[in-house]
Amino acid sequence: MTVVDGAFDHPLALEEHATFPLAGGVEQMGFQCGQVWGAALAAGARAHQLFGFGPEAEAAAVIAAQRLAESFRASYKSINCFEVIDLDWKNAQAKQVLKFLLKGGPIRCFSSTAGYARAAFSEITATFAGQPFEAPPPPVSCAALLARKMGASDLHTVMAAGLAGGIGLSGGACGALGAAIWLTEMNRLKEGAGKVEFNSPEATEAIDRFLQGSGGEFECDKIVGRKFENVHDHAAYLRDGGCARIIEALAAR
């Protein structure tokens, strides 16, 4: 996220640090790679720069996140961490972790981060260079709706927008959950937390509330029963009350 935002002359140090719990696929659960979460948030930051706050900016962020997820999948065959690195962090045995380290896993991850940052910058630039975005009536994004309910700023609300539908409507781990973890970590840092961390008590509580609302499922396409076709499809689902229980559960503190 730092490299992409820096390329747009818009560094966001606090926001970047707060993405740490999304690494390893959301609290190391193996879902979407942290690079994809970070790139989608960077796209939202750029959308806010160009379009301000509102439905058009949120729609632009979702569309950019779609392209970012597709670009990552084209390079690595999947957007999920455990499939990309062939390691389930939550259930890995010591010998599996050792094998990952000996095969240069961390080096490959850092190397891919640099390459994907360049690709992400290009995808975001190309997406926003097109025609104006036709935005549906609000709410446009589940993650942006959740961010607003959590008291997020206009900037942070638009940054979260692209996480909708499991990042760019890809059907992966819930974007509203990812947004809640990110915003929660940002609040911890603002309130004086000494360092970012995996599985903070606040994030763990948010995950527990989420699972109660989602019926124990993490991934958007399993919660909803399908993938969304486009931004308008997702927005219509939200207007009809879709995922309201999850959003309310995550917003509760």
Whether 10 has a pLDDT exceeding 80, the answer reads: no
Distance CA 83, CA 125 (A): 28
Sorted by sequence, the CB contacts under 8 Å of residue 218 that are 6+ apart come out as 26, 29, 31, 173, 174, 177, 211
Whether the predicted model's global pTM rises above the 0.85 cut: yes
Distance CA 213, CA 221 (A): 15
Q: How confident is the model over 97-135, as pLDDT tens digits?
A: 444 434 444 445 655 666 788 899 999 999 999 777 889
pLDDT value for 113? 62
Whether 25 has a pLDDT exceeding 50, the answer reads: yes
Tokens of 237: 């689902």
pLDDT value for 91? 53
pLDDT value for 185? 95
Q: How confident is the model over 133-171, as pLDDT tens digits?
A: 889 999 999 999 999 999 999 999 999 999 999 999 999
pLDDT value for 104? 46
Whether 237 has a pLDDT exceeding 70, the answer reads: yes
Question: Is the pLDDT higher at 218 or at 3?
Answer: 218
CA neighbor of 190 nearest in space, from 3, 12, 15, 6: 15
CA neighbor of 47 nearest in space, from 70, 25, 63: 63
Whether 86 has a pLDDT exceeding 70, the answer reads: no
Tokens of 66: 């779609």
pLDDT value for 40? 98
Question: For 27, left (φ over 0), alpha (ψ -120 to 50), or beta?
Answer: left
pLDDT value for 210? 97
pLDDT value for 100? 41
Look over the chain and give the mean of its residue pLDDT values, rounded to a whole number.
88
Distance CA 94, CA 96 (A): 5
pLDDT value for 108? 54
pLDDT value for 6? 58
CA neighbor of 203 nearest in space, from 181, 219, 182, 179: 181
CA neighbor of 68 nearest in space, from 125, 136, 27: 125
High-pLDDT (> 70) share of the chain, %: 85
DSSP state string for the chain: -HHHHHHTT---HHHHHTTGGGTTTTTTSSSB-HHHHHHHHHHHHHHHHHH-SSHHHHHHHHHHHHHHHHHHHHHHS-SBHHHHHT--TTT--HHHHHHHHHTTHHHHHHHHHHHHHHHHHHHHHHHHTSSPP-PPSSP--HHHHHHHHTT--HHHHHHHHTTTTTTTT---B-HHHHHHHHHHHHHHHHTT-SS--TT-HHHHHHHHHHHHHHTT--BHHHHHSS---SHHHHHHHHHTTTTHHHHHHHH--
| Maximal CA-CA distance, the chain | 52
pLDDT value for 83? 84
Place of tokens 């499939």: 83
